[in-house]
Chains A and B, each alone.
Chain A
């Protein structure tokens, strides 16, 4: 370019959403196109810095000509596509997906945005009956694929089980796990390439696990905490936060956020230091930071104890 400014020629595609026509870059997903127009679609398993897995089915929308609803997080737009994000079909599906989730999973600590969606759809977590009590530790993990004991139907089955605490960095409370696959992706090739965890079991007993459900210290885990950073329902939680919540001292309104650069090496990862009562309680990295995309290593994530001491 003679003026030294790079010009990229981006093709655009014209689509119609909820009756209004607009254009979006070719290759965008329906979700990206809608968000760029300020249209809201709820998501749960989707995260900008991870490969879409389209398993939660919360972002389903209606596309003209399609027999079923389609996942907006992964369906790419096509010229002339006619989309409806708010039709009765979409709303009914959205409400049911949220109710099926809330009836089986503890969704008491989720983002404000998701809470709002649940309120908006008047989600009743007991619509399928009172929730069943937690399983014994290891019970769900050892259920043989293709077998289960049928109850009398009066209690709604849940994924509730005791919290797994096997290290000082973070805890795993799988009662809160919606199987969004985000932690598996972050532990795998989307970020960390450690592969300590995977999906195990099948059906309602499918769960996130190490091989043979071994405790994390015996697994390949390197404690980067990236799985914790991407978890949308706090099934994975830093130990400090978990302990403070147990002691009822966790109070986000009293926390400060300081942005700095990690001092350990020369990569230049941005850190967000969450502090309460002058003590560091959590370290995160901004999702939109171009060095980290929200991911850190064990040093940046957990290497702050010396400051507190």
Chain B
């Protein structure tokens, strides 16, 4: 059918940009072409061409080159892809990195999230406000906005520079310095480049304890040969030797549980994808790391990208996939560059593509970039995002192994989970299961941030005590007193100084009524403004809710309002009335939200209230 558009023309440049993306459509995809796909909640979406999944890459291209997405360009793109303009607009307006109105060519996203606040004991965006005014426009060609966590928490401050035009680039700056920014802006050409950050204090003190991180900071992340010298691709060789069923058996024997937060047994997941008779199968690596305080996946992608390529290849082999995707958050330019390079290098060397290592196994990987939406890290929202839709989570069942990406059986694992596969194949599943505790096998990556002496990425076997981990990181910064630790991220919970003996294993945290989440250990000292931190968490969920279901869409708003009333002593009724109301809001979000975002949006706040961390 014909699509109606406004008739507004796209500029020559806009057409060029889009044609370059659309030229990737060389032939119709026999699997997807001409089918009407259904979105998250089963609403069929118009999809005549079967290439709707190019929508996000095309919007990125416009944002990068033109600096915004004009009506004419959006119409042109919609016609080319056969997506109704209203739906294209709905997708573009969902993501915070896209602008639907003309914007300055440089946009600076300044992290004002909890980890940076805890490290600085101040609001990092305040310095920006003092220097440039709270009006977000700095000059005609630059503006700044506040940003949720940018995943450079170990540096204590961060900013993402999004620069558009012919010399477009994204730079993730950390630590972030207001004076440097002011100097840079006087120069005709921006000189910022992405810098490496490897903060693994264990490397100096106990390098032998590093398993998952053993190559990080040692291997050359751009070289497949360097990777091979450090043991790379031995796991894939082993996998091809023993065959897919035995790979799955090893993974099941290892008792590996997913590291993304839900802790589902990886082997079981793989098996259900492998056994599904519907074809094709897909495997996705979830690299949309956005949980405040989390930076582990970024470090691996930046410093040991081939391990992810290898891990994903093995996952694809075991589950019968020919195509894998890595979905990486848009705020990680260096990680994206390194990963893209690793994929290309692996392809050149016959480690991806047809007949890998001379065997009857073909597999390739495509990298997809998010555009500023925490919710896209929810696995079914991630599928929708790749498919060119709003990143709204789907109702489950069906689970991804039954109907995932493009409604096909799909395996999906977090970056950290996938690199554990290499370890499992290297030592054997049964030996791997002996690391850690009986119910939580293996080692875990912990992101130490906030007011801690040696912030950085740590690796320890499951079962390590929280206090021991804090000690490894040199304790609270500047010899200050510990006030609280946020465990597991914004979706996790606060624990007090008297809870340092919690064993960090799945069963240990369950007993303590907390969660490991994405491995966040964020330290708050005696001087931390806990009210501001907790309000920032409430703000985070209010701004990152997709808006689909009522409990989360309105509940996160009411939660933030309630905390603001408590903090400013503007209560409705008594404090205990407010706390009762909070309990009702928290409960409906937990019980009735569609996905994990809403279900956990009150966790940290609730724990803070319980510990008396929130004054008011």
Contact = CB atoms under 8 A, between A and B. Distances in A.
A201 B599 contact: no
Interface in A246-265: none
B52 interface: no
A232 B395 CA distance: 22
Given A96-B584, A201-B547, A212-B100, A129 B45 contact: no
B346 interface: no
B41 A52 contact: yes
Interface string A193-230: 10111111111111001111010001110000000000
A74 to B, nearest CB: 6
Interface in A55-80: 55-58, 60, 68-69, 71, 74
A280 interface: no
A151 interface: yes
Contacts of B511: none
Interface string A286-298: 0000000000000
Contacts of B584: 92, 96
B101 A145 contact: no
A65 B591 CA distance: 13
Interface in B501-559: 535, 539, 542-551, 553-558
B89 A212 contact: yes
Contacts of B555: 96, 100
B148 interface: yes
Nearest to B554: A100
Interface in B558-602: 558, 560-565, 568, 570, 572, 581, 584-585, 587-588, 590-594, 599
B86 A209 contact: yes
Given A103-B558, A188-B43, A56 B549 contact: yes
Interface string A127-150: 111000000000000101111101
Given A68-B599, A202-B93, A101 B554 contact: yes
Contacts of B85: 211, 220
A200 B90 contact: yes
Q: Which residue among B87, B96, B558 has the maximum number of chain A CB atoms within 10 Å of its CB?
A: B558
B85 to A, nearest CB: 4
Nearest to B565: A153
Contacts of B585: 96, 100
A195 B5 CA distance: 11
Given A103-B558, A153-B564, A210-B86, A204 B591 contact: no
B96 A147 contact: yes
A189 B553 contact: no
A110 to B, nearest CB: 14
B2 to A, nearest CB: 9
Interface in B73-109: 74-75, 78, 84-90, 93-96, 98-101
Contacts, number: 234
B561 A157 contact: yes
Interface stretch (A1-9, A177-185, A267-275): A177-185
A152 B568 contact: yes
A195 B1 CA distance: 11
A184 B45 CA distance: 10
A93 interface: yes
Nearest to B545: A203
Nearest to A184: B43
A210 to B, nearest CB: 5
Contact of B556 (A92, A203, A206, A210): A203
Tier of interface size on chain B? 35 or more
A16 interface: no
B590 A68 contact: yes
Q: Which residue among B85, B88, B581 has the maximum number of chain A CB atoms within 10 Å of its CB?
A: B85
Contact of B568 (A92, A142, A153, A193): A153
B428 to A, nearest CB: 34
Contacts of B542: 148, 203-204
Contact of A96 (B78, B373, B587): B587
A35 interface: no
Contacts of B554: 100-101, 103-104, 204
A219 to B, nearest CB: 7
B43 A189 contact: yes
Contacts of B6: 211-212, 214, 218
A299 interface: no
Contacts of B87: 195, 198
A97 interface: yes
B44 A189 contact: yes
B14 to A, nearest CB: 15
A273 B405 CA distance: 46
B46 interface: yes
Nearest to A189: B44
B483 interface: no
A66 B87 CA distance: 34
A199 to B, nearest CB: 5
Contacts of A190: 43-44
A144 B96 contact: yes
B556 A97 contact: no
A193 B1 CA distance: 9
Q: Which residue among A92, A128, A151 has the maximum number of chain B CB atoms within 10 Å of its CB?
A: A128
12 contacts: A55-B549, A103-B554, A145-B98, A153-B561, A156-B561, A190-B43, A202-B547, A203-B542, A203-B556, A205-B547, A212-B71, A220-B86
Query: Which 6 pairs from chain A and chain B are nearest by CB?
Result: A206-B547, A153-B564, A195-B84, A146-B96, A198-B90, A96-B588
